[in-house]
Amino acid sequence: MTATHHKLIIIGTGPAGYTAAIYASRASLSPLVFEGSQPGGQLTITTEVENFPGFREGVLGPALMEEMREQALRFGAQIRTETITQAKLDVRPFRLETDQGAYTCDALIIATGASAKWLGIGKDEVLSRSGGGVSACATCDGFFFRGKEIAVVGGGDTALEEATYLTKFASKVNLIHRRDQLRASKAMQERALANPKMAFHWHKVVADILTATVETPMGDTVEKIRALQLKDTRDGSLSELPVDGLFVAIGHQPNTHLFKGQLAMDEAGYLHVQKGSTRTEVPGVFAAGDVQDHTYRQAITAAGSGCKAAIDAERYLEHVMVEGLARVLRHDPVELRGTCRGVRARVHRRRARDRVARLSGNRHAIGG
């Protein structure tokens, strides 16, 4: 399959991918962006986003992502609705394939995100998308459960951290765990066990989510969680726990299977980046957003790292160009004349753009 070549390819159109696309397009890198099976990323499956700066009344997740998409397109990013099925990072240029074509690039930004793990009962995922009171993100949704009784499923550090955080809002937090011992660190356990707002349900799993049809202030109806049906893992007996919300905290799955064996990742599959940057250990490959961040996993942090990745990629590409020039200088003075003309033209174009931006009072260049 013949491949089309691009200077920069970005995989993913969540906040990280779009932000990288906006910065890279403004730096004249003409990025090609692949959006995969979830155009707009995780925020397209939520309703209200209240913590993304710039929207004092909050904004609907899909609407926010549509704005980012339009902003990226405005500066010239090319977006394709294709899923990368293969990546070869041990060749130069890097080679990517989808079921529709092959592509090569000098630099690559991976912004493929991470997906929350659900309970496997189907209803939890459906209710998380419809605003039915199920969530996989305490930081995002805890605020909506002020004064309510809720449940958290899980037994690791994340589950206890989220449960403890949720006690700031909820009247009571029920922790549901399949065993009678938690996997979380001792310090975290002690803090949670001492919290008067927390109750522990040992040897229990969620067998079903029971709902009620509720009328919204707009006059629509929506299915909302009213209780959990819990199953005892020892004798299979069933019980009911009335709650207004459920937080599933059994982990996230970073979308990194394409890069296994090619890029360093931790045991959960999060990509490893060099401290303070978005550089992976393969020069020219950068990672941004949830795919490399198991700690924060927020839209704003994903967007921030997308910006960093675009700046890192631009610097890398400039460095490669200078290196190439030096190589030519050493070996082929005739080709050098042609290359120098190209570089002079690029510098000239950039200066002209800078002048226009200064005159119009705008900061056009990447990084401000």
Ligand X SMILES: Cc1cc2nc3c(=O)[nH]c(=O)nc-3n(C[C@H](O)[C@H](O)[C@H](O)COP(=O)(O)OP(=O)(O)OC[C@H]3O[C@@H](n4cnc5c(N)ncnc54)[C@H](O)[C@@H]3O)c2cc1C
Query: Of 106, 124, 140, 290, which is the active-site residue?
Result: 140
Taking the C-alpha atoms of residue 188 and residue 146, their distance in angstroms, rounded to an integer, is: 23
For residue 256, state whether it binds ligand X (rule: CB under 6 A): no
Q: What is the CA radius of gyration of the chain?
A: 24
**Of the two residues 98 and 195, which places its CB atom closer to ligand X in the complex?**
98
CB 274, min distance to ligand X, A: 18
Query: Of 105, 137, 290, 293, which is the active-site residue?
Result: 137
CA-closest candidate to residue 312, choices 6, 8, 70, 2: 8
CB 79, min distance to ligand X, A: 10
CB-CB contact of 34 with 134 (8 Å):
no
For residue 17, state whether it binds ligand X (rule: CB under 6 A): yes
Taking the C-alpha atoms of residue 51 and residue 58, their distance in angstroms, rounded to an integer, is: 7
CB-CB contact of 248 with 116 (8 Å):
yes
For residue 285, state whether it binds ligand X (rule: CB under 6 A): no
**Of the two residues 116 and 192, which places its CB atom closer to ligand X in the complex?**
116
Pick out residues in 71-130 that bind ligand X (CB under 6 A).
83-84, 111-113, 116, 128
Taking the C-alpha atoms of residue 346 and residue 245, their distance in angstroms, rounded to an integer, is: 56
Taking the C-alpha atoms of residue 177 and residue 154, their distance in angstroms, rounded to an integer, is: 6
- Has 99 been annotated as catalytic? no
Pick out residues in 342-361 that bind ligand X (CB under 6 A).
none
257 contact partners, CB below 8 Å, separation of at least 6:
269
For residue 300, state whether it binds ligand X (rule: CB under 6 A): yes
Q: Which two tokens stand for residue 29?
A: 């890198």
The count of residues interacting with ligand X (CB under 6 A) is 41
For residue 175, state whether it binds ligand X (rule: CB under 6 A): no
- Has 354 been annotated as catalytic? no
Taking the C-alpha atoms of residue 67 and residue 42, their distance in angstroms, rounded to an integer, is: 15
- Has 340 been annotated as catalytic? no
For residue 245, state whether it binds ligand X (rule: CB under 6 A): no
Taking the C-alpha atoms of residue 11 and residue 121, their distance in angstroms, rounded to an integer, is: 30
**Of the two residues 38 and 211, which places its CB atom closer to ligand X in the complex?**
38
> Which residues lie near ligand X (CB under 6 A)?
11-17, 34-39, 41-43, 45-46, 49, 51-52, 83-84, 111-113, 116, 128, 136-137, 140, 255, 258, 289-291, 297-300, 302
Q: Which residues are part of the catalytic machinery?
A: 137, 140-141
